[in-house]
Chain A
Amino acid sequence: MTYEKVTILSNQEISPTVFEMILQTPNFEMGKPGQFVMVYPNHGGMLLPRPISICRQTKNITMLVYKILGDGTRYMSTLKQGDSLLIMGPIGNSFEIKPHKKVALVGGGIGIPPMVFLYDTIKSQEVDVFLGFKDTHFLTTLFTDANLHIVTEDLTALKSLQNPSGNIYPKNGNVLDLLESQSQQYDEIYACGPNPMLKALCKYADKKNIPLQISLEERMACGLGACVCCVANTPQGYVKICCDGPVFYSDKVVL
């Protein structure tokens, strides 16, 4: 785990209230898909670090994609190229990657960034990607070779979407409808997104008997497993999302 001040190379709005931040992180430990970093706003009356999933990482660069949801992320959005930022990570377990033939990646809204990192890692497998947006899309161009299924409440927002390979399928509705309309049988489903989406997916995966790995989000304080603030419920009691998760098999947690 690394805890250090890093330099911001860029920080730009890629969709309304959604920002892509590129950090120079040559000394940062390499993360795995599903892991996250703690971002320390260290500003004004803010005390606690913000957990942000790793969207992409190379030896020198870490990319975070976040949405303005409160004071911390609003402050992050004001930072400029050249500013420094204190971060800690990589934190948590990661998606378990298996030698599968065909898998589905499901991302909803700001749950999509970790799916980019996962996709980068497993794209040698046959991957169907299902992304759900409220309105405007983001990060869709990063799933280059996948069968990309996109749903949105506002189809006009998808008009600008480039579709060079002809494998992008924009639709109205929600990701679950889209997934259910597939005749494919998947060996594994990976998902991150809002709780109602994850709940519906859990039912689907259970019915179809497909292993489902979900990444959970919760308000955190330490990020180290010490404060026991970020918990998920399981039949055996509460577990810590920051260190027992954030990725869980759907049949092991109670949403």
Chain B
Amino acid sequence: MVDNVNLSVDIAGVLLKNPVITASGTFGSGKEYSQFIDLNELGGITVKGVSHEPWTGNPPPRVAETYGGMLNSVGLQNPGAAAFISEDLPFLRKYDTKVIVNLCGHSLDEYIAVAKDFSGVFGVDLFELNISCPNIDKGGMSFGTDAATAEKVTAAVKPHLNAPLIVKLSPNVTEIVAIAKAVESGGADGVSLINTLVGTKIDIYNRKPVLANVFGGLSGPAIKPIAVRMVYQVYKNVKIPIIGMGGIMTGEDAIEFIMAGATAVSVGTANFLNPKATVNIIEEMQNFMRNQKITNINEIRGII
């Protein structure tokens, strides 16, 4: 047993008090969960995806449960950057946690436009570029599944940002390392992975897909082994820090990602099962470290 454990981590020069971040799209803009947990305890909050113009999202039903997972086809419904900056950002800034803004777009121009929306805006610690959301018919998917395009969008957005850029990778690719290397070359300050895996579910009694959009993104513990494998592979091949995610439900899950090479982790689907999941995970990580006599979380990063 050790008494004091240090959980603070550095992502592209931004110091997080602990490695636990919320995953984009699962935590709103934090307000919704502030009645259950103290947001000051979180390493960071990644907000729901923000686009230049408001996005309407996909028709319902948008969610379907599968064994150990869930499919969503929300389609990044959001009120646009201007509304986010005036309504959500001031709320988040009241807390002592890092604010990570997830940016999305349908085209190179839209990505650049949303990046520019944040120029001169105070209070964003990190940007996360969503090049991998499988819900959007055009744009998102193609950017994240082709190395050259992924590098291009990274390089196009980067000069317009006043905070480090994390690029969120899609797992729906043949070679994740190639994409990770490409965005590193494009100027990414870090990568986050994995986004959801494209899936579907069929209602066999009504003989139709459960989701109105037919396809959705699979998240939850069902995808964790894939996520850990991809973090492991990417860690061996890039120099920039990794935010690992995909089915983290417990502190042990989070430790697994850190050992695979992640500097920080994001918690998504677990928030739906338990609105206090993030703070529980921080506590469980501390307990693990105490029991395993690990004084600093950085000691175990990438040790596999």
Q: How far is the CA of A225 from the CA of B272 in the complex (A)?
A: 11
- Are B273 and A237 closer than 8 Å at their CB atoms? no
Q: Which one of A72, A221, A231 lies within 8 Å of B77 (CB-CB)?
A: A231
- Are B271 and A42 closer than 8 Å at their CB atoms? no
Q: Is the interface of A mostly helix, strand, loop or mixed?
A: loop
- Are B27 and A1 closer than 8 Å at their CB atoms? no
- Whether A249 sits at the interface, judged by CB under 8 Å, is no
- Are B63 and A227 closer than 8 Å at their CB atoms? yes
- Are A222 and B77 closer than 8 Å at their CB atoms? no
User: What total of chain A residues lie within 8 Å of the partner, measured CB to CB?
Assistant: 30
Identify the stretch in B12-20, B65-73, B283-291 within 8 Å (CB) of chain A at 4 or more residues.
B65-73
- Whether B269 sits at the interface, judged by CB under 8 Å, is yes
Collect the chain B residues with CB atoms within 8 Å of residue A45's CB.
Answer: 66-69, 222
- Whether B176 sits at the interface, judged by CB under 8 Å, is no
- Whether B35 sits at the interface, judged by CB under 8 Å, is yes
**Contacts A48-B70, A229-B72, A231-B60 given: A224-B65 contact, CB under 8 Å?**
no
Interface residues on B, range: 35 or more
A67 to chain B, nearest CB (A): 14
Collect the chain A residues with CB atoms within 8 Å of residue B62's CB.
Answer: 219, 228-231
Collect the chain A residues with CB atoms within 8 Å of residue B272's CB.
Answer: 47-49, 221-222, 227
Mask, B244-270, CB within 8 Å of A = 1, is 000000000000000000000000010
Q: Which chain A residue shows the least CB distance to B74?
A: A228
- Are B269 and A47 closer than 8 Å at their CB atoms? yes
- Are A238 and B70 closer than 8 Å at their CB atoms? no
Collect the chain A residues with CB atoms within 8 Å of residue B220's CB.
Answer: 47
Q: Which one of A71, A220, A224, A233 lies within 8 Å of B275 (CB-CB)?
A: A224
- Are A47 and B32 closer than 8 Å at their CB atoms? no
Q: Which one of A40, A71, A220, A233 lies within 8 Å of B63 (CB-CB)?
A: A220
Mask, B50-93, CB within 8 Å of A = 1, is 00001011011111111111101010010000000000000000
Q: How far is the CA of A47 from the CA of B268 in the complex (A)?
A: 12
A142 to chain B, nearest CB (A): 30
- Are A226 and B26 closer than 8 Å at their CB atoms? yes
- A residues with a Cβ closer than 8 A to B are 1, 3, 40, 42, 44-49, 71-72, 88, 218-222, 224-233, 237-238
- B residues with a Cβ closer than 8 A to A are 25-28, 32-33, 35-36, 48, 54, 56-57, 59-70, 72, 74, 77, 220-222, 269, 271-276
